[in-house]
Structure 1
């Protein structure tokens, strides 16, 4: 087996010498470690930190809501920190403590029971990563909820990733039946263009006019899950999807938002999300390379550089002192009319674009929010050790 090394070192080694990328990743990790403590609320993490500006133009952030899902993702990332650093970002508790609380919530089937398949899958994944003693019960809960029918693609991918993690834990019950079902479901969800739409294994979760559309998350999480499955067929399907999104990547490294799963083309590029640039795309593509898939190191580097120099705006997206990265660059289109129009036109005729929309609704608005899962995936991506699959 190859020796594990830092993913940053692999990505920025002698063959590529992009010192700016290494410095940027270090900077982003520092921002995450500063920002996460302020996002702690109750026994979990907030839904979002919303940025507001005072009369002098100085920003501050205000916590809003709470999210079990985002807490589980944060746990997956923070688990890779030394325990003293875990406690620093988690309000004095360890990741094991945080996950124990999540497991209790998932196993409570009374009033207020967790009903989201994706949430339960993420908690199962975190419980597997921590080898929690109640992992078998969480797996049973996940299996009971995953009864078939239409399911969102992201949820289906998280189920497979959770089961792939759980099968590595000694002493868990036989997962083969559920694992193979989840793997096959995701493989059958890929469309003729090599990409995934917003749902798999059925119809009815999304309107028919955008049934052909899949967002960036609908591509990244399946790529990651299939890479973690690791078998030849799964890696081949993940490789094709990765090739499609990398071919479509913007000139400045943008990972676009909506795709036509039938053709592999872009339906609508904006918003461009910071978490896609600094965490989710690198996470999936690095997992893929380490599973024997294609190396997309240069696409990862381009995506990271967008964070420091986004051409759509002159406003900084990384606010070091505040401990946030602003969530996205988008159109000033609160009704999402551009996305809707492009979904409908491409449904009628693949590739049909109303180019005038780019002039009428330019993509120059910055969404001043930051959510804890963004930093959870950031830590998960860059603190994981690589087995040398990329260069």
Structure 2
């Protein structure tokens, strides 16, 4: 007997205006994402793999990831039932969500719990949401530092949860992010609270994307003007920093807002995270940046660093990133160290010394989950 797929609660979706060229590319990418996620789902474990990695000419699944499973569930929320059924090999997403909640409550960190609560809320899972809510509040009790990314996910979960709105959790989380925001640079730090040491001034693109998304959503539901103002300033800084061919660069100086090290360029930033954040900002009443989104997608179709496309249509995968040919993280360490000594110092000539021409032949399910979330079926 065919498994029955339960549907999430209906939520309004804003329009994502794109050009005809972008729309055609996105239609193909969405189909690719569903096919690739089907390869990544491990029905015996009830989780998505950590990644598919090219080995001897074919993609092979490796590991398991509760966090990536939660993000993929978010991406599937607004998919058509047939696509959900196909991706999960017939498994029920509600049952998957409940199993995942049990697992992360026992051993997950703030980010895992927040993402799973976010997914449970959107899928209409009240019972696991209640247990996840208690765990989230317990994890937030200490006054120590938290990664900006995880605080942003927690704010998204709290903003969409009526209980956490009423008890002030969402307001407190938004306040933490806003107090850490640097309006002069337009950036959030990599970590809210605590001393980051020699790398404390280094923020990454994820520290741009998720606060924009969370604060924009918080503003849309509460009307908090300071949240939209910070999200808008950060979004404008992100667009100013965008590369000439649509690249979203990777590391920035939190003090000045300027790029520190451009590579790697991650494909999930191009098709998922960048457009997702800018869409949330526009949905909340902030500016729309259609040209930046179009350039972001265009980099996937033609990736100038490799004089081709990073989309592998033969294997139906989008490879993870374009990186420098270098010892592990050498350029990032050099740029972080020099800029620690003085905000204006950079290592010159890196593109010649360490050319950005290396493709990372792996694909992770969360990347495709964010693609589907950013560009829902409707």
Q: Same fold (TM over 0.5)?
A: yes
Where do residues 352-391 of structure 1 align in structure 2 (5 Å cutoff)?
352-383=345-376
What SS does the aligned partner of 2:306 have? coil
What SS does the aligned partner of 2:126 have? coil
Aligned to 1:26: 27
The two structures have a TM-score, normalised by structure 2, of 0.91
Q: What's the offset of the Cα at 1:266?
A: 0.3
Q: What's the offset of the Cα at 1:83?
A: 2.2
Q: What's the offset of the Cα at 1:317?
A: 1.2
Q: What's the offset of the Cα at 1:94?
A: 2.7
Q: Is the 8 A contact 1:6 1:384 kept in 2?
A: no
Please list the CA deviations of residues 125-164 of structure 1 after superposition, one character each: whole Å capped at 9, or x if unmatched: 0111112122122111100011231000100100000111
Q: Is the 8 A contact 2:159 2:165 kept in 1?
A: no
Q: C-alpha separation between the residues in 2 aligned to 1:188 and 1:5?
A: 30
Q: What's the offset of the Cα at 1:106?
A: 2.8
Q: What's the offset of the Cα at 1:101?
A: 1.2
Aligned residues: 359
Aligned partner (choices 176, 194, 205) of residue 185 of structure 1: 176
What SS does the aligned partner of 2:78 have? coil
Q: Is the 8 A contact 1:72 1:123 kept in 2?
A: yes
Q: C-alpha separation between the residues in 1 aligned to 2:295 and 2:174?
A: 31
Please list the CA deviations of residues 330-349 of structure 1 after superposition, one character each: whole Å capped at 9, or x if unmatched: 00123211101101111221
Aligned partner (choices 162, 166, 169) of residue 161 of structure 2: 166
What SS does the aligned partner of 1:383 have? coil
Q: Unmatched 5+ residue regions in structure 2?
A: 1-10
Q: What's the offset of the Cα at 1:173?
A: 6.5
Q: Is the 8 A contact 1:6 1:383 kept in 2?
A: no
Q: Is the 8 A contact 1:39 1:46 kept in 2?
A: yes
Aligned to 1:44: 47
- The structure 1 segments of at least 4 consecutive aligned residues displaced by more than 2 Å after TM superposition are 3-7, 172-177
Where do residues 244-323 of structure 1 align in structure 2 (5 Å cutoff)?
244-323=237-316
Q: What's the offset of the Cα at 1:27?
A: 1.1
Q: Is the 8 A contact 2:311 2:319 kept in 1?
A: yes
Q: What's the offset of the Cα at 1:356?
A: 2.3
Where do residues 81-120 of structure 1 align in structure 2 (5 Å cutoff)?
81-107=79-105, 109=106, 113-114=107-108, 116-120=109-113
Q: Is the 8 A contact 1:136 1:173 kept in 2?
A: no
